[in-house]
Chains A and B, each alone.
Chain A
Amino acid sequence: MKPEFPRDRLSNVSSSVTGITDVAPKKATIREVIQAMPLRVKLASLWLLLVVFGAVYAKIDTAWFGGSLPLQNPNFQTNGFDRATGTFGTGEPIEGMSGAHWLGTDAIARDTFARLVHGGWVSLVVVVVSAACGVIIGGFLGSLVGFVRGRTETIIMATVDVILAFPALVLLLALVSIFEVRNLFVISTVIGVLSIPAYTRVARANSLAISSREFVTAARAIGTKPSKILFREVIPNVLPTLLAYAMVAAAFVVVVEGSLSFLGLSVQLPTPTWGNMINQARRDIKINVAQVVWPSLALSVTVLSLNQVGDYFQQRRAVKGSNL
């Protein structure tokens, strides 16, 4: 029969052996984190905040205010469809920038700025869902197999390797094409599920390293339950790395969703996405190149920003990790 240690003593021993409590640096405030950022990361973060704000604002406008907030309807032609006269609006298609239409209008006279703002919502949801799936499911699986090893690791990592062996976009196209109606839930879920293997790999690599650290060894030595070690020692230390990775992975997800949209395989029309805006505007590129440029720019800057911010936090995490 194993000797029983009081819970409070176990906790004290663990801390005193690892010494983490004693050497852990003071947690930086948000202000300090921002101040420490290089200018390019600050600008990238600002852009991402703008995209998130715009997307959420557009969604609230549609869902709660029936489109009455100051933002044009992204799905109807300029001035809408007038039932009283039975005619369409008088807006000009493929219009240039103006006071009425800051970024011009598309092929059927819809406000490009409104569509751009609304288009961010799809990207935002897909990124959040894929990150959640990746961090929660992939993070757990990776941490688990990196910690327990053995047959569990063999089976799970073999499965992960098989999935990763397929070209991601091809696999995604195959999965997406199964669904006849492709709404935001379907698209984000499919992308989210396909994100899991990559997160699993990252989590496993970190879990392997952390599992061999002194504080884990010590916890094992004093008889701490493996599940407790996993959840209290391993996963909390894997998580920051995963979150930093999620920023970089988000950039990839945005590109993937844009590709699907461009191919007409993402959310159904008339819901605007940056990808389907590019696809629809390319026909008129000779008349007004700006209609292709705006969504392309939004997509590019967002991806660049996510990479900048993700890289920055990954570097910070690497420095922190080496101090452990």
Chain B
Amino acid sequence: MEEQTLIKGTKMGVTAMRRKSLYRAVAFLAAAGLIAGACGGSDDSAPADTAEESSEEAPAEEPAVEAGDEAEGDVDTAIEEVEDTVSYGGSISVGLEAEATGLRPWEDTCSSPCYNMMAAVYDKLMEQDANGAYTPYLAESITPNEDFTVWTMTLRSGVTFHNGVDLTGQTIADMFPIQQAGAAGSSAISAANLSSVEATGDLEVTYTLSQGNSAFPASLSRAPIGMVFDPAAAAADSEGYSMAPIGTGPFVIDSRDLDNETTFVRNDNYWATDPDGNALPYLDSISFRPIPDEGTRLDALLSGTVNAMQTLRQGTIRDARAARDDDGADITLYEFQGNNVGGGMFNTAVPPFDDVRVRRALVLMNSQEQVIEALGGTGISLPGTQWFSPDSVWWSQAAADAWPKFDFEAGVETLTEYVNDPERSDGKAVGEPIDAELSCPPDPTLIAAMQVLEQAYTASGLVNVTMTNYDQQTHINNALGMDNGFIGSHQVHCWRWSDDSDPSVAINPALAPPTAEVAEAIGLPGVVSPLNFSNWFSPTAFQAAVAATKTDDFETRKGLYESIMLEFADQVPVYYSGHTATAIGTESNIVGLNSWHVPSGELGIGFPNAEGRWAEVFIAS
């Protein structure tokens, strides 16, 4: 069985790998991902897992996996078949947290609000089903060779772009040079190790990778190289494409008024149908309005100014719940809490954070319960202990148990040991408190959480805390450190980790050598990841991350990621608050966000990170 081949057939032990080439293979894996994921919602980073026509990855079909059950306290809205009778027609407007920087998949870095818009006009080659497995969407099938360096994909027939041009294998091949030249596309191509795309038949495409990557299908499920556009039109007018995108998606662009409203109307020639054979989409039109202020966006929904809205803030979810439960607002909340986890990092290249005792002490003083309360997430957000949420198939109980929990006295004791160490790394006199700059973007939610940490640190009497707030771009740049060899100027820095893509997407660039010096020292000159923001490097963790991209055996991969999370718990280069809760709120008669399907007829992944798929949404009578 093909599926068995994919999951079990590849036996590539770490020892059999050529170590150096493996390191190079993933040094920049998903390079675009973490920056967007750091402070925003999801990103353009490439997920992973092999897939055939139907869900065939372990998450869907390996009941022996212990993780993956809904965690206590997690209230994700269920993905389930809709009971209402579908109806055609009507228009809805959706409030987004920001305007899309652009609507060109190969060029514009896309986050959660942008994905809502792009999903209306573009289709992806691959999608995730309700179990998180990758399954063909605009593709019909995709098959790798034995070492995952060549992937052969067959496209669906009869698919046309909004301008009437047919989708063929050559279309995908012609997209490649445009993607290579695009800001988002080039990063994704590099991350996926993609070296060439060739049309090997009318509807057949062959992807050749420079290094094997078992997670390649995940790359085809995100915008930069997964969303299909008309390459001829894009080459003719790249700038104009952002304002008038042409895809094969369920809706066609009608008007785009930047920072005000973008409207799409029904694509009457859309190729997809629902499981009953009804043509999609159901709606006549859908418009998106950027409403940056959280309160205003929720009010817009409650007042009927918009029919739906998205949020990535616990406080807004709390307020929306209150409006629904206490004030009787007639709304539905599609809530989701995934792998993305809030918290921050220590710059381990800078004293005193180069000493694990300091990092561990500060983590021990971190009352996650209090921080989550300050975030407005009590009863909404689960405390984080790793880069996977308790309902993820990658979740590790061992890592959860190993993560240092709030123990103030233990933290004081650990920090005292450092402070009284004559050889302390920060060069201060014995007994002097350490200095720590605690920095977050100037969001009221984050500021409140930051002050909880400050209270505990200050109360220890062992930390002189300075709190700073910089705009998000400066915050990221401080961690990136482009002016000091990617070491950064940060110390204790708010950040978000992980996402619901394949683990390799977030983990590999975060574990690769952070600086040229480190890369040189381990014999991998030039293999540097600017996205290793904490500057923490462990050869064993990095090797495990690399090995995980060379096999598609779920248990093997899970074991490798568990070993990384255990090392995180031991070395604590990062700290956590709670998992990021997201939601899409709609008027209650708007149905279908949790019941859309992939072409195989299985239910799709729903609305992760408040990214809605709008083709099967309808207005119930």
- Quick one: CB contact mask for A271-297 with B, threshold 8 Å, 1 for yes? 000001001111111110000000000
Cross-chain contact A269 with B451 (CB below 8 angstroms) = yes
Cross-chain contact A269 with B295 (CB below 8 angstroms) = no
Cross-chain contact B469 with A108 (CB below 8 angstroms) = no
Choose one: B367, B407, B445, B454; the contact of A270 (CB below 8 Å). Answer: B454
Cross-chain contact B466 with A268 (CB below 8 angstroms) = yes
**13 extra interface residue pairs, beta carbon distance < 8 Å, beyond A93-B373, A268-B466, A280-B444:** A75-B455, A77-B455, A87-B408, A88-B367, A107-B376, A107-B444, A108-B374, A269-B450, A270-B451, A270-B467, A282-B295, A286-B298, A286-B322
| Count of chain B residues with a beta carbon within 8 Å of a chain A beta carbon | 33
Secondary structure call for the B interface: helix
Which residues of B from 305 to 352 have beta carbons under 8 Å from A?
315, 319, 322-323
Closest partner residue, chain B, to A271 (CB atom): B467
Q: Is A181 an interface residue (CB 8 A)?
A: yes
Cross-chain contact B459 with A268 (CB below 8 angstroms) = no
Complex CA–CA separation, A88 to B366 (angstroms): 11
Cross-chain contact A286 with B319 (CB below 8 angstroms) = yes
Cross-chain contact B374 with A264 (CB below 8 angstroms) = no
Closest partner residue, chain A, to B461 (CB atom): A83
Complex CA–CA separation, A88 to B467 (angstroms): 20
Cross-chain contact B315 with A181 (CB below 8 angstroms) = no
**A84 vs chain B, min Cβ distance (A):** 9
**A75 vs chain B, min Cβ distance (A):** 7
A-B pairs with beta carbons under 8 Å apart, 8 shown: A76-B455, A83-B408, A108-B452, A180-B468, A181-B466, A282-B444, A283-B445, A285-B295
Interface, chain B (partner A; CB < 8 A): 294-295, 298, 315, 319, 322-323, 367, 370, 373-374, 376, 406-409, 412, 442, 444-445, 447-448, 450-452, 454-456, 459, 466-469
Complex CA–CA separation, A280 to B447 (angstroms): 7
**Among all A-B residue pairs, the 9 with the closest Cβ atoms:** A264-B442, A86-B408, A264-B469, A81-B459, A283-B444, A107-B448, A269-B467, A286-B319, A280-B444
Closest partner residue, chain A, to B452 (CB atom): A108
- Quick one: CB contact mask for A153-180 with B, threshold 8 Å, 1 for yes? 0000000000000000000000000001
Give the residues in chain B near A81, CB-CB below 8 Å.
455-456, 459
Cross-chain contact A280 with B455 (CB below 8 angstroms) = no
Q: Is A263 an interface residue (CB 8 A)?
A: yes
Give the residues in chain A near B295, CB-CB below 8 Å.
282-283, 285-286
Complex CA–CA separation, A257 to B120 (angstroms): 44
Closest partner residue, chain B, to A77 (CB atom): B455
Choose one: A263, A269, A286; the contact of B454 (CB below 8 Å). Answer: A269
Give the residues in chain B near A80, CB-CB below 8 Å.
459
Give the residues in chain B near A180, CB-CB below 8 Å.
468
**A59 vs chain B, min Cβ distance (A):** 19
Choose one: A76, A283, A287; the contact of B294 (CB below 8 Å). Answer: A283
Cross-chain contact A86 with B444 (CB below 8 angstroms) = no
Give the residues in chain B near A106, CB-CB below 8 Å.
448
Cross-chain contact A279 with B444 (CB below 8 angstroms) = yes
**B155 vs chain A, min Cβ distance (A):** 47
Cross-chain contact A280 with B367 (CB below 8 angstroms) = no
Cross-chain contact A108 with B448 (CB below 8 angstroms) = yes
**A10 vs chain B, min Cβ distance (A):** 59
Give the residues in chain A near B455, CB-CB below 8 Å.
75-77, 81, 88, 108, 270
Complex CA–CA separation, A283 to B370 (angstroms): 17
Which of A80, A106, A283 has the most chain B CB within a 10 Å cutoff?
A: A283
- Quick one: CB contact mask for A129-146 with B, threshold 8 Å, 1 for yes? 000000000000000000
Closest partner residue, chain B, to A279 (CB atom): B444
Choose one: B374, B412, B442; the contact of A107 (CB below 8 Å). Answer: B374
Give the residues in chain B near A263, CB-CB below 8 Å.
442
Give the residues in chain A near B454, CB-CB below 8 Å.
269-270
Closest partner residue, chain A, to B412 (CB atom): A83
| Given A83-B459, A287-B319, A269 contacting B373 (CB threshold 8 A) | no
Closest partner residue, chain A, to B449 (CB atom): A108
Cross-chain contact A264 with B466 (CB below 8 angstroms) = no
Give the residues in chain A near B451, CB-CB below 8 Å.
75, 108, 269-270
Cross-chain contact A284 with B468 (CB below 8 angstroms) = no
Complex CA–CA separation, A16 to B231 (angstroms): 93
Complex CA–CA separation, A126 to B455 (angstroms): 26
Give the residues in chain A near B442, CB-CB below 8 Å.
263-264, 279
Cross-chain contact A269 with B447 (CB below 8 angstroms) = yes
Which residues of A from 70 to 125 have beta carbons under 8 Å from B?
75-77, 80-81, 83, 86-88, 93, 106-108
Give the residues in chain A near B452, CB-CB below 8 Å.
77, 88, 108
Give the residues in chain B near A283, CB-CB below 8 Å.
294-295, 315, 376, 444-445, 448
Give the residues in chain B near A77, CB-CB below 8 Å.
452, 455
Which of B319, B367, B467, B469 has the most chain A CB within a 10 Å cutoff?
A: B469
- Quick one: CB contact mask for A51-84 with B, threshold 8 Å, 1 for yes? 0000000000000000000000001110011010
Which residues of A from 23 to 60 have beta carbons under 8 Å from B?
none
Give the residues in chain A near B408, CB-CB below 8 Å.
83, 86-87
**B204 vs chain A, min Cβ distance (A):** 53
Complex CA–CA separation, A285 to B468 (angstroms): 24
Cross-chain contact B469 with A269 (CB below 8 angstroms) = yes
Complex CA–CA separation, A227 to B370 (angstroms): 64
Give the residues in chain A near B459, CB-CB below 8 Å.
76, 80-81, 83
Give the residues in chain A near B294, CB-CB below 8 Å.
283
Give the residues in chain B near A284, CB-CB below 8 Å.
315, 376
